[in-house]
Amino acid sequence: MEVPMELDTLLFLAVFGFIASFIDAAAGGGGLISIPALMWTGMSPVTVLGTNKVAASMGAVSSFITFVRAGKMDTALMKKLCPLSLIGSLAGVLLVQHISSEFLRPLIVVMLILVFLYTVFKRDWGKEARPQQLTGKKMLLCLLMAFAMGFYDGFFGPGTGSFILFAFIMLGFDFIGATANAKAMNFASNIAAAVLFSYFGFVDFSYAIPMGIFMIFGAIAGSQVAITKGVSYIRPMFIIITAILIGKQLLTLIK
């Protein structure tokens, strides 16, 4: 018996939602999988972004809770950075409705190439936690980073988790600590964007809810694997995800 097309679509989104959330929970970059999957449905670009945010927020909740329970998150620092990430995301959503994101692509490619090269050649990167004291200019940079990453996540999204992860490792956190902190900030920006996209009517909940349910399971699995496998698992995955992000963006620029 032939399976209805609508069911085919939901199964397609469920599978890719799980994969995207699994990868995103550990190394970031899940939006590179979930957004193209949603674009396959034929929705408008803005609705794709909004639907993705609602689904991703469901997975982000699970990932966030998992890392909090594992005690891997710098809660004191997150109390300062998450509100700015949330505010930045709201600003990004407001802007994306009026301005094309095309001008961001060359800058994103440059940033990704730098992250990729640094990660490949800095072999001991993230193996040991060497947090620096965040005072004065360093704290100011952290606050600006939180707002900027939140803005980017609301405006476009893919690669946000990887960018935040990179920033925290530059501050001296190991991969697990950096991943946990990145999940907190990403959670704040996802929730803010999801609420605002929903308010403006740019969310297809018939796709967002089923996809989000499978993203919950993917996030739980990805977070557990990240916590138990540690650097030996996350560093290679981070390199792979960054390489995929670079390739995807380069292909977009070439077309």
Q: 3-class SS at 202?
A: coil
227 neighbors 67 (Cβ within 8 angstroms): yes
Whether 28 shows a pLDDT value over 60: the answer reads yes
For 130, counting Cβ atoms within 10 Å of its Cβ (0-12 exposed, 13-18 middle, 19+ buried), the class is exposed
Which residues contact residue 83 at a Cβ distance below 8 angstroms, ignoring those fewer than 6 apart? 188
What pLDDT sits at residue 15? 92
Q: Which domain holds residue 27?
A: 5-254
Ramachandran class of 128: left when φ > 0, alpha when ψ lies in -120 to 50, beta otherwise: beta
Using 50, 70 and 90 to split pLDDT, how confident is the model at 130? low
The model's pTM is 0.77
Whether 230 shows a pLDDT value over 70: the answer reads no
What's the total number of domains in the chain? 1
Q: Which residue has the higher pLDDT, 121 or 78?
A: 78
Model confidence pLDDT, tens digit, residues 42-76? 888 889 899 999 999 998 888 888 888 888 788 88
